[in-house]
Chain A
Amino acid sequence: MLEQVSLAAQGQPGVLGQLVIIFLAAAFTDNILLSRFLGMCSFLAISRQMKTSIGLGIAVVFVTTCTAGINYLVHAYVTVPLGIEFLEYIIFIVVIAAFVQLVEMVVERFSPPLYFALGIFLPLITVNCAILGVSLFMLAKQGYGFWQSLVFGAGSGIGWMLAIVLMAGIRSRIREDKVPEGLRGAGITLIVSGIIALAFVGFSGMIKF
């Protein structure tokens, strides 16, 4: 708290401004997919179709936001006081798996249409490295509180969704194009990702955090 007050005194953005900056940085300058390379496997596999990309994107946004918050609380109130930070990898992955399972049950019970819309994407998310990655990077940033973590999770999720939806759009446009034999599939997708990443590098000068 004191730190934030002193930041404000130096003409730095206040708490709310700081949250906005964290959000923009997570979604654009440090895009989890294009600059941290997380969640590539499902990105390459799913981005073939626009509809499924959006479905998976929404599921990822929701799960990263919630698990970032939960894992922050676990970190701050369980593992650090007990001195068992080295077990965090295991704890985080269990938290994520349990949370996804829980969400699946709740959604199935209360909103069957949404359940069918998300389909197999929910269980797939457990093994999406973007989710665990968000939790790990959130702790690596140090000094994040609960709200900062939550916003960081949401921003990362939205950044991921942005990237996969962009990619799905581009892939549908180049589907009929003549791509060299060996580059079909993964190859051309990676090159296009590289070009998108190049565009995102342009964001890096805008927000310094």
Chain B
Amino acid sequence: MAFKDTVGGKAFLVNLWQDNPVFRQVLGICSTLAVTNLMKNTALMCAGLVFTTAFSSLTVSFLRKHTPKQVRMMAQVLIIAAYVIIVGIFMKAYFPEVHKLIGPYVGLIITNCIIMGRCEAFATQNTPWPSFLDGLGAGIGYSLVLIPISMVRETLGFGTLLGFPLPGIENWTRWTIMVMPPGAFFMLALVAWFGNTYVTGGKQGSAA
């Protein structure tokens, strides 16, 4: 059986594009807006999120038969929080300067709706391996949107990429607005526009 025909493989691929958490489901956008003004921060944030979604889906799936229905939300939050703590400690140890900038947002991965959504919608009903792939897909789908957004914002806002000045535009006039909050809103609106128009042919738009 080909990878894309297995339960996990299908979930993985759907999350990357058709059901992309950011531009299709508009989930988890708090951090999307907040960390995308520098590409390095974005990359680290994405790595943390991929790790957390994948492993919390895995754990939730392992425990799905032992978790009473009434307390499953609380159990999921605690599982997610445990992984987020690991990410937080790791980042503090190896990237202290990034942690100083986006530290609170790392903690906020706990309340990122993507993770909770995947746990609740998929991991509670499926076996561990597909759940792991599903979580991984959601995390990577999230990164696929964030990395380009941060590339555009950093390039236009600072004239740099990953902190290095881009050749040919040494005298770049900084579009300061791009690294400030309004720039984030405008960029995400463009991404949502793109997602609504090209990914399913604009069927999803509800009234403003």
Which residues does chain A contribute within 8 Å of B177, judged by CB atoms? 198
Docked-complex contact A184 and B205, CB < 8 angstroms: yes
Docked-complex contact B103 and A140, CB < 8 angstroms: yes
Main secondary structure of the interface of A (DSSP, over half): helix
Docked-complex contact B85 and A38, CB < 8 angstroms: no
Question: Which of B10-18, B38-46, B141-149, B183-191 makes up part of the contact surface?
Answer: B183-191
**Bound form: Cα–Cα A179–B202 in Å:** 13
Choose from A41, A136, A201 the contact partner of B181 (Cβ within 8 Å).
A201
CB distance from A21 to the nearest CB of B (A): 21
A193 contacts the other chain (Cβ, under 8 Å)? yes
Docked-complex contact A194 and B182, CB < 8 angstroms: yes
Which residues does chain A contribute within 8 Å of B193, judged by CB atoms? 180, 182-183, 187
B67 contacts the other chain (Cβ, under 8 Å)? no
A76 contacts the other chain (Cβ, under 8 Å)? no
Choose from B77, B81, B189 the contact partner of A188 (Cβ within 8 Å).
B189
A209 contacts the other chain (Cβ, under 8 Å)? no
Docked-complex contact B104 and A137, CB < 8 angstroms: yes
Question: Which of B27-35, B58-66, B156-164, B165-173 makes up part of the contact surface?
Answer: B27-35
* Given A89-B85, A127-B116: A175 and B208 interface contact (C-beta under 8 Å): yes
B70 contacts the other chain (Cβ, under 8 Å)? no
**Bound form: Cα–Cα A133–B184 in Å:** 18
CB distance from B93 to the nearest CB of A (A): 11
Binary flags per residue of A126-150, CB closer than 8 Å to B gives 1, else 0: 0111001100110010000000000
- With CB as the reference atom, state the residue of chain A lying closest to B26: A186
Question: How many residues on chain B are close to A (CB under 8 Å)?
Answer: 47
Docked-complex contact B74 and A97, CB < 8 angstroms: yes
Docked-complex contact A86 and B85, CB < 8 angstroms: yes
Which residues does chain A contribute within 8 Å of B189, judged by CB atoms? 183, 186-188, 190-191, 194
Question: Which of B106-114, B122-130, B131-139 makes up part of the contact surface?
Answer: B106-114
* Given A89-B107, A132-B110, A179-B208: A187 and B78 interface contact (C-beta under 8 Å): no
B192 contacts the other chain (Cβ, under 8 Å)? yes
Question: Which of A29-37, A49-57, A109-117 makes up part of the contact surface?
Answer: A29-37
* Given A93-B81, A133-B108, A185-B208: A41 and B186 interface contact (C-beta under 8 Å): no
Docked-complex contact B196 and A194, CB < 8 angstroms: no
Interface of chain A residues 99 through 129 with chain B (CB within 8 A): 127-129
* Given A129-B112, A194-B186: A181 and B208 interface contact (C-beta under 8 Å): no
Docked-complex contact B208 and A177, CB < 8 angstroms: yes
Docked-complex contact B185 and A193, CB < 8 angstroms: yes
**Bound form: Cα–Cα A93–B109 in Å:** 12
Docked-complex contact B88 and A129, CB < 8 angstroms: no
CB distance from A123 to the nearest CB of B (A): 10
Which residues does chain B contribute within 8 Å of A86, judged by CB atoms? 85, 88-89
B82 contacts the other chain (Cβ, under 8 Å)? yes
**Bound form: Cα–Cα A132–B31 in Å:** 13
Extra inter-chain contacts (18) besides given A136-B107, A185-B204, CB under 8 Å:
A37-B30, A38-B34, A38-B108, A41-B30, A127-B111, A133-B108, A140-B104, A171-B208, A182-B194, A184-B208, A185-B205, A185-B207, A186-B26, A186-B192, A187-B189, A188-B208, A189-B208, A194-B185
Closest 8 CB pairs of A and B: A194-B185, A184-B205, A182-B197, A190-B189, A37-B33, A129-B111, A136-B104, A182-B196
Q: List 22 A-B contacts (CB under 8 A).
A: A38-B34, A38-B108, A44-B26, A86-B89, A89-B88, A89-B107, A89-B110, A127-B111, A129-B108, A129-B112, A132-B111, A133-B104, A181-B202, A182-B194, A182-B196, A183-B192, A184-B206, A184-B208, A185-B196, A187-B192, A187-B196, A198-B177
> Which residues of B pack against A, CB within 8 Å?
26-31, 33-34, 74, 77-78, 81-82, 84-85, 88-89, 103-104, 107-108, 110-113, 116, 177, 180-186, 188-189, 192-194, 196-197, 202, 204-208
